[in-house]
Structure 1
Amino acid sequence: MKILANDGISNEGKDALEKAGYTVITDKVAQDDLIDYVNMNNIEIILVRSATTIRQNVIDSCPGLKLLGRGGVGMDNIDVAYAIEKGLSVINTPASSSQSVAELVMGHLFAGARFLNDSFKQMETGDFSALKKKYGKGTELREKTIAIVGFGRIGQSLASYALGCGMKVIAVNNHAVTAEISLVIHGFGEVKVPVQSTFDLHTALKEADFISLHIPKQADGSAIIKKEEFDLMKKGVVLVNTARGGVIDEEALLAAISEGKVAYAGLDVFENEPNPRADLLNNEKIGTTPHIGAATGEAQDRIGLELADLIVKQFGIQIPA
């Protein structure tokens, strides 16, 4: 079977698939050329990350496809229900990138607490005394409250880091979860901390000093964090979104920053990727990263190996005729 890993795959994942008898192609095919390429090369499996989209037109036009795979958690760029309806299998790797995304969130939390995003850029001006005064009123994470909105694998991984920093964790989820959060202290062992989730987003927003989002957009595509939600937040809150663009109403976010409601926003995802609006990128109170939550070598190795394992489990070892 031929596999097109159109957004790339780790060497470990590629090697595992090739050892199992699969042909893995890592050509980067432009979106507009994807249908022709798949049909001309008899591709049966397409693996993507976030750059390539697999919509109904691709599914309908490529009758030889058997499986679609997403290296990551969210499946927004694949028409999953339609693919399954047409008899295709659809897989993703929800467990592999949790730690990497959680660590990126922690980076944004520290950046927001200590103005790192803007101070990094301004130090080259050489106005040391003025900058020391401007950035001299940071805050500590310890003893602060973080609302983790969406308490799946990534949210729970983030909770372990936040608890390790001495933060109070409020978990918000759409169904009740009591998670045993594992804190591993190197050389000393593991401690389990129970965290009970709540359905009450609005109360969590009122109580939080820091907020991290790990949820999809609503079914109708509308934002979950809008003006109404910003109005509930504490003045000076730090907000991080590594989930999906569109979860936050970006216009409402800019207004909340202008009014002082939000002291810092850390954004790894945007409504208009890969071309986010300039007033987000240029705002001194917004730290931006280019959708790199899962972009660590360790996560990509785990993702590649998990994809390989799922494919082999479904189709078995490919023995040449």
Structure 2
Amino acid sequence: STKLEGFGVTGMWRVVAGLGRVGTLGAQKAAGLVMKVIAHDPYVSEERFHQLGISRARELKDLFEVSDFITIHLPKTKDTYHMFGRQEFQAMKRGVLLINVARGSIVDTEALVEALESGQVGGAALDVFEEEPCTDSPLFKSPQVVVTPHLGASTIEAQDKAGVVIAEQV
């Protein structure tokens, strides 16, 4: 039988890459769990960081060695393509947990597989993939990975809200 075992997150470091709507909500929930939250987003004002009560990091790479969790909430751009690759994983604290709910191309899949196999990355939760729909990936075979088929925003509430927004725009 498989023994499932969790751990407390109080006092752990959560780094939020991208402080848009979803990143902000995630940061606030992490703060509610008494995690130490720090975020990187060059497009968010100092005033907004202050309003949210979230510490700001000027450089994402400076946070890698302290991060227990890294959550990715960045847009897909030429600058974010494979932003998380071999070099970045090697700079991270051993055993870091990675969550990507943004765009699959932000994470280099091959580098992530290697980092998981070596233990450098302790686990990953992925709602997005480089190629979608994704029907086959080496990540599917890893016991350290939880995957969903890009449905993070597919809640009843989110769909209802989207319908209201569309109706208001008509």
Regarding TM over 0.5, the answer is yes
* TM-score normalised by length of structure 2: 0.91
Shift of 1:240: 0.4
Q: 1:212 aligns with which of 61, 66, 71?
A: 71
Shift of 1:275: 2.2
* TM-score normalised by length of structure 1: 0.49
Q: Indicate the residue corresponding to 1:288 in structure 2.
A: 147
Conserved in 2, the CA contact under 8 Å of 1:170 and 1:197? yes
What is the alpha-carbon distance in structure 2 between the residues aligned to residue 276 and residue 241 of structure 1? 18
Aligned length: 167
Tell me the secondary structure at the aligned position of residue 246 of structure 1: helix
What is the alpha-carbon distance in structure 1 between the residues aligned to residue 104 and residue 135 of structure 2? 10
Q: Indicate the residue corresponding to 1:174 in structure 2.
A: 42
What is the alpha-carbon distance in structure 2 between the residues aligned to residue 237 and residue 196 of structure 1? 20
| Cα distance change on mapping 1:153 and 1:166 into 2, 3 Å | same
Shift of 1:213: 0.0
Tell me the secondary structure at the aligned position of residue 266 of structure 1: strand
RMSD: 1.7
Pairwise mapping of residues 68-217 of structure 1 onto structure 2 (< 5 A)?
127=1, 131-132=2-3, 135-136=4-5, 138-175=6-43, 176-177=45-46, 178-181=49-52, 194-217=53-76
Shift of 1:217: 2.9
What is the alpha-carbon distance in structure 2 between the residues aligned to residue 303 and residue 179 of structure 1? 29
Conserved in 2, the CA contact under 8 Å of 1:236 and 1:260? yes
Q: Indicate the residue corresponding to 2:85 in structure 1.
A: 226
Tell me the secondary structure at the aligned position of residue 31 of structure 2: helix
What is the alpha-carbon distance in structure 2 between the residues aligned to residue 271 and residue 277 of structure 1? 11
* Aligned-partner residue type, residue 213 of structure 1: I
* Aligned-partner residue type, residue 219 of structure 1: K
Deviating more after overlay: 236-245 vs 170-179: 170-179
Conserved in 2, the CA contact under 8 Å of 1:218 and 1:224? no
Tell me the secondary structure at the aligned position of residue 308 of structure 1: helix
Tell me the secondary structure at the aligned position of residue 54 of structure 2: strand
What is the alpha-carbon distance in structure 1 between the residues aligned to residue 128 and residue 138 of structure 2? 15
Q: Indicate the residue corresponding to 1:45 in structure 2.
A: none
Tell me the secondary structure at the aligned position of residue 142 of structure 2: coil
Tell me the secondary structure at the aligned position of residue 180 of structure 1: helix
Shift of 1:278: 2.8
Percent identity between the two aligned chains: 37
* Aligned-partner residue type, residue 211 of structure 1: I
Shift of 1:276: 4.3
> Relative contact order: is structure 1 or structure 2 higher (C-alpha 8 Å, sep ≥ 6)?
1
Instruction: Name which one, 1 or 2, has greater alpha-carbon Rg.
Output: 1
What is the alpha-carbon distance in structure 2 between the residues aligned to residue 276 and residue 257 of structure 1? 20
What is the alpha-carbon distance in structure 2 between the residues aligned to residue 153 and residue 281 of structure 1? 28
* Aligned-partner residue type, residue 248 of structure 1: V
Shift of 1:216: 1.9
Matched, 1:258 2:117: yes
Deviations 1:294-315 (A, max 9, x none): 11101111111112212x3xxx
Shift of 1:159: 1.1
| Cα distance change on mapping 1:221 and 1:208 into 2, 3 Å | closer
Note the residue ranges of structure 1 that are not aligned, 5 or more in a row. Answer: 1-126, 182-193, 313-321
